[in-house]
Structure 1
Amino acid sequence: MQETETEFGWKTETEFGTSHQGRPGAVLPGGTEPEPVLFDMGSSAYFRKTSDWWVYDGGTLRAPRAAALRGACSCGWRGTALYPVDWQEVAAEGPDVYDTQGPRDDWKRHIADVEHQAVPVPEDVAALLGRLRERLDVLSADAPLAALRVVAALEHTTGEAAEAAVYAVRGDDQSWDAVATALGLTEPDARTRLHRYARRY
């Protein structure tokens, strides 16, 4: 049986990627998180799996009725603050319009904590990256082929630097938990990223 899961809707503008994507998470009256809901996509061999909060209305797909929402992150983090769901308002406005700002603000604070725990990017490098991004934006519009050459050169340079950095990290014999925290990633994503960098060439 094949399954697909609804993507988390809130994404960061950082390098954290899929490690830290957020969404409003449904909470049942007892305080537990409901299991994902499966529904048939029209083929006996293909089912879709979703944890979208609005399916837990007590009727849709025979899902249980959620009492509240909280911030949820793909890394496994869950917010502690609960925001009661007004299902009459959901029905009147639609789930896309319903106010989920509370859970989103909590998730943003979680992301701020992740960034705080991650190893800082040196200020001069951050400034250089900012200027490079601005220059590439202009170059992409004015001279796109030149921009592509620059991107290729950057890929080569960053690839070599990444490979050297991976071997240095492995030589330090740091735990995967420490590496993941420093990179702002989950441990599986940190392992995948370092493995990809080490095998780049």
Structure 2
Amino acid sequence: MEWQRDGFPAHEGTVGVVLADGSESRAVYFDMGSGGHFPTSTDWWIYDGTCGAPRAERMLAACACGWRAQVSYPIDWSQVRRREPYTYDTSPLAQDWKIHIEDVEARTVPLPAELADLLQRLDQHLDRLAHDAPLAALKAVRALETIIATTGPTAAFMTVSGAEIPWPRIAEGLGTTESEARSRLRRYEYPRRP
């Protein structure tokens, strides 16, 4: 069970579980007999106390960025169908994660309204063009790639070296994690700063 929002790949949401001692779960390893590979799982319904897994008492919204919701919810194992765990109601957790993503988005650097509108209209035009005139759409995409190839390195260099913005602020402004921000800027091959 995962939640995603376009533009925020480092913020994939999941259902986390809390064990009876208050700790968060770790991956459960399944011993399949001989061999060097042991399959693992972190799916919340695995933590039902069977097959060597610990029993979870509560569930909470979690995010790939490390965020965890402050509110947790009891798990009623009598209502969990082992073969259909997705039928269990986790909508409160999805709502908690949605609030987290809205907070992440609110802290990103805003695009000028004129540019945001232009990008939205460009997306719509390219989508139509891909269906009506795919070769023209490819030509337009190539033009965008050229713009990215020239603007990206300059913007990355000015962010890191020119403006000397600290990495935590860069990550926040882009709505991602620090490691993902570093990776994204490295793609533009800017001269690196430690």
TM-score between the two structures when normalised by the length of structure 1: 0.88
* 1:107 aligns with one of 94, 97, 118: 97
1:197 to 175, 188, 191: 188
Deviation at 1:120, TM superposition (A): 0.8
In the alignment, is the contact (CA less than 8 A) between 2:81 and 2:88 conserved in 1?
A: no
Question: For residue 155 of structure 2, what is the aligned residue in structure 1?
Answer: 165
After TM superposition, the structure 1 stretch with the greater mean CA deviation from structure 2, 164-173 or 44-53, is 44-53
Q: Secondary structure at the match of 1:136?
A: helix
Tell me the alpha carbon deviations over residues 80-106 of structure 1, each in whole angstroms, 9 at most, x when there is no partner: 111111111102782111110111100
- Aligned to 1:178, the other structure's residue is in SS state helix
RMSD: 1.7
Q: Report the Cα offset of residue 152 of structure 1.
A: 1.1
- Specify the code of the residue in structure 2 equivalent to 1:33: E
Aligned residues: 189
In structure 1, how many angstroms separate the alpha carbons of the residues matched to 2:54 and 2:137?
52
Distance in 2 separating the partners of 1:96 and 1:82: 18
Structure 1 gap segments, 5+ residues each: 1-7
How many angstroms apart in 1 are the aligned matches of 2:124 and 2:29? 45
1:99 aligned counterpart, secondary structure:
coil
Does residue 183 (structure 1) correspond to residue 174 (structure 2)? The answer is yes
Which residue of the other structure, out of 42, 48, 52, is the alignment partner of 2:39?
Answer: 48
Q: Indicate which of 133, 155, 175 corresponds to 2:123.
A: 133
CA-to-partner distance for each residue in 1:42-89, whole Å, 9 max, x for gaps? Answer: 772333332110100000x31111111100000000001111111111
Alignment partners' CA distance in 2, 1:40 and 1:162: 47
Whole-angstrom distance in 1 between the partners of 2:122 and 2:95: 31
One-letter amino acid matched to 1:32: S
In structure 2, the residue corresponding to 1:62 is in which secondary structure? coil
Of residues 111, 117, 122 in structure 1, which corresponds to 2:112?
Answer: 122
Residue type at the aligned position of 2:66: G
Quote the sequence identity (%): 45
Matched, 1:11 2:4: yes
**Partner of residue 35 from structure 1, selected from 6, 22, 26:** 26
